[in-house]
Amino acid sequence: MKTFYCIIFAVCFCLSSSISQAQSFELEEITVDQLQNLYKSKKYTVRQVVNIYLKRIDAIDKKGPKLNSVIVVNPDALRIADQLDKELKAGKSRGPLHGVPVIIKDNIDTHDKMPTTAGSRALMSSIAPKDSKVVEKLREAGAVIIAKANLSEWANFRSDKSSSGWSGVLGQTKNPYDLSTNPCGSSSGSGAAVSANLCVLAIGTETNGSIVCPANANGVVGIKPTVGLISRSGIIPISFSQDTPGPMTRTVKDAAVMLGSLTGTDKEDSKTALSDKNGLKDYTPYLKSDGLKNKRIGIYKGPLGKLAEVDTLFFQAIEQMKKQGAIFVEIDKMTQVKNTNGSSFQVLLYEFKDGLNKYFASLGDKAPVKSLKELIAFNKTDSVETKIFDQQLLELAEAKEDLSSPKYLSALENMLKGTQSGGIDSVMNAHNLDAIIAPTGGPAWETDWKNGDKFSIGSSSPAAIAGYPNISVPMGFVGNLPVGISFFGKAWTEPVLIEIAYAYEQKSLKRKAPQFLK
């Protein structure tokens, strides 16, 4: 009995120590503006701030609660910080991201000492030949990339029963609100890291739900922009039609600041051809406290009626927005076109094979594997890769033809018609809407390697398949677990969505820092 109580005491002591570490963090919940004010007042240097976050990663991610959200720390982070300090000392600032610590998802190329793995053991030693366009823009803006985040391997496109947040490289990322629960989505590490204050800002990527779902589960803000607003060159792909990177932050304002630094055309990504015309370099003018006034908003009813606690929070959010001047219209269906989700899945299989083979070719002679076929063969011989999860999606993709296939072209046409002209555009035009809202998802489920993910609610598909923007903002808590609300709309409508999301956030303020419970 004495031994039993000693064990209980030790466990409780470790947990309370972890929580104490989280609560006593000196830069807890700091925003971009607050950090810049600290630099201007000379209370901190960039080196000091970066070093604080590196120690935080070591304490929270690798020791303490062992969040397991960071694959690799940038060995050059302090050197980069020193250079940025020299610029500040000389009276030069690159802008609002100068000296801001950022963690990026590890399917985004960096030409430095950090490999780009997509979570796969096949790429553990793969150094990209150049920075991705996203990383290039972050460096130009003065951000310090301090680490790369764990992710669902191959951005969750490898197994039919995988666990979100698991990769062969690092294992399972945990949810910082409850370590036994799942962080959701392939940008799980980015969402968990920014929520746990391991960085100021993070970058995720989404094909369908991989930014907004971890934003929901980890209690943060996620912007999944219009496909083509931000370049995807140098990002390990799933889908040319649906992939996009986007900000993951603790506030809508920080997400808007970060978004403006990433937009622009890129000759290596034809989807960005309209980015300069339709995108902005500064979205902060749309951070309006009265941004909901006279806005017409559609209520997407599809995700409702599944979890009473989520429905209650959602309708409370609607009542709050009504008080802020919003007008609501109920929407039963998002499309009249049949099988748009099935068409999207077929498109992903075709485009994954094509895009991944092109990515491997971009690595040149140093590519650890040269094709999807070689990757499948590697996984079969590896001691970890297929021990827990299969690779069914990789095998289904490998069996597909090239992108000239009539089956691919037919699926692509049906997918886009069903979600764009026959979907979101049609619904919004019919009701003269500024945006559509829905619960982003349900509370995080207990991580289960045997049965895989347990999605109870999801609303990401209409915007994701259309390639349209979507913003998830914290909506409240079910027990100790956060849930979010999504705001989505037509292509290139990030400004109006930011207006609405910011106005809602400023009145609701539902974000609370996690406590690493177990």
Beta-bridge partners for 485: 439, 473
Tell me how far apart the alpha carbons of residues 201 and 99 are, in angstroms, rounded to a whole number.
11
Residue 109 tokens, joined: 């190329």
Q: Would residue 188 show up in a list of annotated catalytic residues for this protein?
A: no
- For 450, other C-beta atoms within 10 Å of its C-beta total 7
Rounded CA Rg of the chain: 22
* Maximum alpha-carbon separation in the chain: 71
- Cα–chain center distance at 312: 26
Q: What angle do CA 200, 22, 220 make, to 5 degrees?
A: 45
- H/E element, 215: helix 212-218
89 annotated active-site: no
Report how many helices (DSSP H) and strands (DSSP E) the chain contains, helices first. Answer: 18, 13
**Is residue 319 exposed (0-12), middle (13-18) or buried (19+ Cβ within 10 Å)?**
exposed
Q: d(Cα 455, Cα 440) in Å, to the nearest integer?
A: 11
- The CA distance from 240 to 356, in Å, is 10
Which candidate in 210, 343, 426, 459 is catalytic?
210
How many CB atoms lie under 10 A from the CB of residue 58? 14
One of 186, 233, 241, 508 is an active-site residue; which one? 186
Q: Please pick, among 18, 105, 295, 508, the residue that the annotation labels catalytic.
A: 105
| 210 in active site | yes
Catalytic residues: 105, 186, 210
